[in-house]
Each structure stands twice: as structure tokens, then as C-alpha cells.
Amino acid sequence: MQLAEERRQSIVDAVEQDGRVLAAELAQRLGTSEDTIRRDLRDLDAAGLLRRVHGGAVRRGPLPSFGERAASDLPRKAALAQMLRDCVRPGDTVLIDAGSTNLALARLLEDGQAATIVTNSPQLALALGEFRRTRIVLLGGTYAAAQGAVMGARTLAELQGLRADLCIVGICAIDLERGLATVDAEEAAIKAAMLAGSARCAAAVLNERLGDSASFLFGRLAELDHLVLETDAPPDIIARLRQTAPALDIQLAAKVRS
């Protein structure tokens, strides 16, 4: 039987040679389960040796820009956004965090579906710029291009004075042991303030972010009221999420049609 370190080195070698690998193919090639491969890919990603993506991993390179993320996986993000849309109630003040899936949500919302939409994303505010019955509020702060969001002390102060009916927060990773996480400390403080200032909280997460890790925690899984996952999210991870947060409403998005 191949040792764990040998197996992981084989994965790294395959990524370096081919540029991209699929978890299912690796499991077959290396004679192990897809769950084991997913754990290997998570650990190798955390070690900086590759980058996890949906269904497998790619050779690590520069982090994609917000524009590149917003233009990728459009059908998957649209399916998640359609489910998030149902969380918005008439008369709500909705706080929508920056993020490419949340931008997809903004493009599905109708004028008047919420009373007010507050966001830290200039791109999201522009997507809603023609609304007349819904008031659009863009938070102040310093623009961070990588996140596609305004951040800083001013943003945090404005959030601390806000009470929203619904927050739709962006999540970089759901660590099954530790909670909701992101890759930037300042961004984590912003997201924590969003959760704290909202009556209800929702999020949508792509498969590759489930069971993942990121450096900075900003909340517990139980702080979410609604979580939208892809229809092919791993059943074992869904079971662990339900065990960790029994009151959490977990919904699966409709299958993406090719």
C-alpha cells in the first residue's frame, strides 16, 4: 500500500506535469477513496503546493483577480444565487457582502424585492444601479481590488451602526472543525461585523470551499440561518455540517444543465 507521503508526492507530480488533475481519476490511479484524495488536496493546498478547484486541483499560480473570479463558473454560481434569492423578503434591509456568487445574486434580484440593499461591493452596487423602488447604499472605505470590496475603519464603523434584516455573507472556506473563514484579517473583521449586525444570515458555497481551511475565522457555522450548497456537494460533508449546526437550513441548488 502506498504511504500517505508517497501518495501526496504523486499528486503534486501529476499537477506539475499536467497542470490540472481530477479527484476521481486520482483516486482510481492511486487506489484510494475520493474522500482521501480530497483531504490530500486540502492539505497540499494549505501547504502551497497546488490550488484546489471544483473536482480536483490545478498548478498553483497568482491568485485570480475579482474580475477573473466573477467571470468563472457562471452556471454554478447562478444556480446558487437563484436559491439565495428566495431568502430575500419584501421590505427587508439586505446587507450583501462582496463576492462573485453574490454578484450573480444581484443580477437576479428585481427592483422592489427588498426595501434597501447595502453592500461593500462597488461592482454589486453598479449591477443594481438602475433600481428605483429599492434603495441602494454603498458603504464607504478604501477599495481593495483583490477582494472587489471596500474595507477599513470607515467600513467597519458604518457596519457597526447598521441593523439589517438579512446578511448574505461571502465565505472563502468552511472549516468543519473551526467555522467560517477567509484569507485576510481585515476582511474577517468586516464579515464578523456583518454577521453581528443582522437578524438573519445566509451564504452560498461552492464545493471546493467545503471542508477547506483559511487563515482568519470570522464566525461559527451556527451563526448562519441558511446555507446553499451545490446539488453534488459531498454527502459526508453535508452530514457533518448538519451535526455541527442542527438548526441550520441547508438547501441544495438545482443541478447545472450543460
DSSP annotation string for 140-163:
PSEEETTTTEEESHHHHHHHHT--
Domain boundaries, the chain: 4-58, 68-252
Model confidence pLDDT, tens digit, residues 170-185: 998 898 888 999 888 9
Rounded to an integer, the average pLDDT of 109-138 is: 97
Please list, in sequence order, all residues whose beta carbon lies within 8 angstroms of the beta carbon of residue 47, skipping any fewer than 6 positions away: none
Predicted local confidence at residue 243, as pLDDT: 95
Predicted local confidence at residue 108, as pLDDT: 96
Rounded to an integer, the average pLDDT of 38-56 is: 80
The CATH number of 4-58 is 1.10.10.10
pTM of structure: 0.79
For residue 68 the three cell numbers come to: 477573473
For residue 218 the three cell numbers come to: 470570522
Q: Which residue has the cell 502506498?
A: 2
The CATH number of 68-252 is 3.40.50.1360
Rounded to an integer, the average pLDDT of 219-223 is: 96
Whole-angstrom Cα distance, residue 243 to residue 239?
Answer: 6
First to last CA, the chain: 38
Rounded to an integer, the average pLDDT of 52-74 is: 71
Predicted local confidence at residue 3, as pLDDT: 76
Exposed, middle or buried: residue 62 (CB in 10 Å: 0-12, 13-18, 19+)?
Answer: exposed
CB of 147 closer than 8 Å to CB of 98: yes
Please list, in sequence order, all residues whose beta carbon lies within 8 angstroms of the beta carbon of residue 3, skipping any fewer than 6 positions away: none
Q: Which residue has the cell 467600513?
A: 155
Which pLDDT band holds residue 258 (cuts at 50, 70, 90)? very low
Predicted local confidence at residue 38, as pLDDT: 85
Rounded to an integer, the average pLDDT of 43-50 is: 81
For the chain, give the mean pLDDT: 90
CB of 22 closer than 8 Å to CB of 64: no
Which pLDDT band holds residue 58 (cuts at 50, 70, 90)? confident
**Does position 39 have pLDDT exceeding 60, yes or no?**
yes
